[in-house]
């Protein structure tokens, strides 16, 4: 079993990475392989709703979104992490999630996320965690992914 941990922070080894590493350590202790995927700190453009992903099975913009989507096909579960920027997910993470999940919903039948478990890790210094957590979980539920919860 392999779980992919997605780091949506512009800082590759920052607070979000530290939180994801704790999750990874626990998963590994329980016999689950993990792999990290950093979306990077280059701008990720948002979805333009061109619907081309219906025809070609991937986003027309060939960037980190398509790279991740290929990796996601072989994963058994996911943990997505993002810092809170202005009481929401980071802008790059929002654009990334919009495009990767939209292309999945409109793709050519490849099921990278359908019925695969997912969890959200939100990293913040102040307010906005609840809104960001809710925002992240909506992607999972729209794709019919079981949401893995935790304890407070």
Whether residue 81 contacts residue 122, with contact meaning beta carbons closer than 8 Å, is answered with: yes
pLDDT tens, 97-109? 999 998 876 665 6
Please state the pTM of the whole predicted model: 0.94
Tell me how far apart the alpha carbons of residues 94 and 128 are, in angstroms, rounded to a whole number: 14
Q: Which CATH number fits domain 2-142: 3.40.50.2300, 3.40.50.360, 3.30.413.10, 2.40.50.100?
A: 3.40.50.360
pLDDT tens, 81-126? 999 998 999 999 999 999 999 887 666 566 889 999 999 999 998 8
Structure tokens, 136 = 């992240």
What is the domain partition of the chain in residue ranges? Answer: 2-142
Structure tokens, 100 = 């990767």
């Amino acid at each position: 079993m392999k779980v992919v941990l997605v780091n949506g922070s512009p800082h590759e080894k920052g607070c979000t990475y530290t939180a994801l590493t704790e999750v990874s350590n626990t998963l590994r202790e329980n016999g689950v392989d993990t792999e990290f995927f950093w979306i990077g700190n280059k701008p990720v453009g948002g979805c333009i709703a061109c619907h081309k992903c219906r025809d070609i099975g991937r986003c027309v913009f060939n960037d980190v979104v398509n790279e991740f989507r290929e990796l996601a096909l072989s994963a058994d579960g996911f943990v997505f992490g993002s810092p809170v920027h202005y009481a929401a997910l980071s802008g790059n993470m929002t654009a990334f999630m919009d495009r990767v999940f939209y292309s999945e919903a409109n793709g050519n039948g490849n099921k990278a996320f359908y019925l695969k478990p997912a969890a959200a890790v939100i990293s913040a210094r102040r307010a906005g965690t609840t809104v960001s957590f809710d925002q992240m979980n909506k992607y999972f539920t729209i794709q019919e992914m079981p949401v893995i919860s935790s304890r407070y």
